[in-house]
Structure 1
Amino acid sequence: MSVGLFGGSFNPAHGGHLHVARAGLRELQLDEIWWLVSPQNPLKPEQPSWESRAETVLSLPLPARMKVSDVERQYETQYTVDLLRTLKTRQPDKRFVFMMGADNLAQLPKWKGWREIVETIPIAVIARPGSPIKARLSQAARQYDFARLPEDQAHALKDFTAPAWTYLTLPLDKRSSSAIRARTA
């Protein structure tokens, strides 16, 4: 089984996130997408409760092949690198692909164990408004350029051994959680 790990704060989750998750199912030809609602993103200020943010994901029209997963809470991991180590050990029968927005690729070197992340799991980077050039010129993109699959081969990413990544230039969705929070503040 191939599983896309789609992590984030989802504060709140919105149609733009769903757009990215659907693209994962379609372009990466994955069996499932697990929405990983971060218990607390270490790079962001205090977040609303996990339950309230998970509820914003569940309020979206999720296809049957998508689910909200609390594996980070179950395994008591705070950092992506720790979660990936644990998943690799506890669920060796699954082929995982980590999905992230291009803005996260640009800041990936700030993540704990970022090189280990890239060398542990194939990664699908999805274009976001305002970040394509910055992401493609980022330290992580340059350092691992040798491992980048062309976009037209994204469907095969799940079958590659890390390091392997691709950059998907889908139609952009301009919705953002920070803009939604600003409107409701």
Structure 2
Amino acid sequence: MKVGLFGGSFNPAHEGHKMVAQCGLRDLGLDEVWWLVSPGNPLKASTDNYEARVASIEALDLPRQMKISHIERDYGTRYTVDMLARLLARHTDTQFVWMMGADNLLQMPHWKDWQVIMHALPIAVIARPGGGLKPRLGQVARQYAQARIDETDSHNIADMTAPAWVYLTPPLNYQSSTKIRQQTPAGS
């Protein structure tokens, strides 16, 4: 089984997130995408109600190949590297690919043990509006330039040994969780 791990705060989830997940299914040759809802991102000041964020994903009417996962909450892990260590040890018969937006590629050097993550599983980076070339020229992209595969080979990434990463450029969706929160009246 080939599974994309799509982590995030999803505060709230929106059609742009769904497009990223669909890109993973389509372009990475995955059987499923697991939406990993973060109980609390250590790099963000605060994250709203967990159940409300899960409900926002449920409202997207996901296809059957997409599952909402509570692994981080259930494991009690706070950092991606810790969650991945437990997940990979538990699911030795599954080929995982970490999926993230291009903005996270820029932030990745701030993640705990980010180099361990790069060597733990293949990674798919999906372009987002406003990113331009910055993510592809950042520290992670430069340091792991030799591990980058061509987008035309993305369907093989789950079979590759890490470090391996691909930058995907699907059509962009300009929805933003930040903008949605700013447009939602307090108490709604």
State the AA in 2 paired with 1:18: K
Residue 11 of structure 2 is matched in structure 1 by 11
Provide the rounded CA distance (Å) in 1 between the counterparts of 2:66 and 2:128.
21
SS of the equivalent of 1:130 reads coil
Provide the rounded CA distance (Å) in 2 between the counterparts of 1:10 and 1:170.
20
State the AA in 2 paired with 1:61: D
Residue 66 of structure 2 is matched in structure 1 by 66
Equivalent pairs counted in the alignment come to: 185
State the AA in 2 paired with 1:152: T
Provide the rounded CA distance (Å) in 2 between the counterparts of 1:139 and 1:13.
28
Identity of aligned residues (%): 57
Q: Which runs of 5+ in 2 are unaligned?
A: none
Residue 159 of structure 1 is matched in structure 2 by 159
Residue 127 of structure 1 is matched in structure 2 by 127
State the AA in 1 paired with 2:26: R
Residue 24 of structure 2 is matched in structure 1 by 24
> Which consecutive segments of 4 or more residues in structure 1 shift more than 6 A?
none
SS of the equivalent of 2:35 reads strand
Shift of residue 103, structure 1, vs aligned partner: 0.3
Provide the rounded CA distance (Å) in 2 between the counterparts of 1:184 and 1:95.
39
Q: Which runs of 5+ in 1 are unaligned?
A: none
Shift of residue 73, structure 1, vs aligned partner: 1.3
State the AA in 1 paired with 2:59: S
Alpha carbon RMSD of aligned pairs, Å?
0.7
SS of the equivalent of 1:152 reads helix
Shift of residue 132, structure 1, vs aligned partner: 3.0
- Are 1:102 and 1:132, in contact at CA under 8 Å, matched by a contact in 2? no
Residue 48 of structure 1 is matched in structure 2 by 48
The worse-fitting range, judged by mean Cα deviation, of 101-110 and 44-53 is: 44-53
Shift of residue 146, structure 1, vs aligned partner: 0.3
SS of the equivalent of 1:157 reads helix
Provide the rounded CA distance (Å) in 1 between the counterparts of 2:175 and 2:52.
19
SS of the equivalent of 1:132 reads coil
Shift of residue 182, structure 1, vs aligned partner: 0.8
Q: What TM-score, normalized by structure 1, do the two folds share?
A: 0.98
Matches within 5 A, 1:69-108: 69-108=69-108
Q: What TM-score, normalized by structure 2, do the two folds share?
A: 0.97
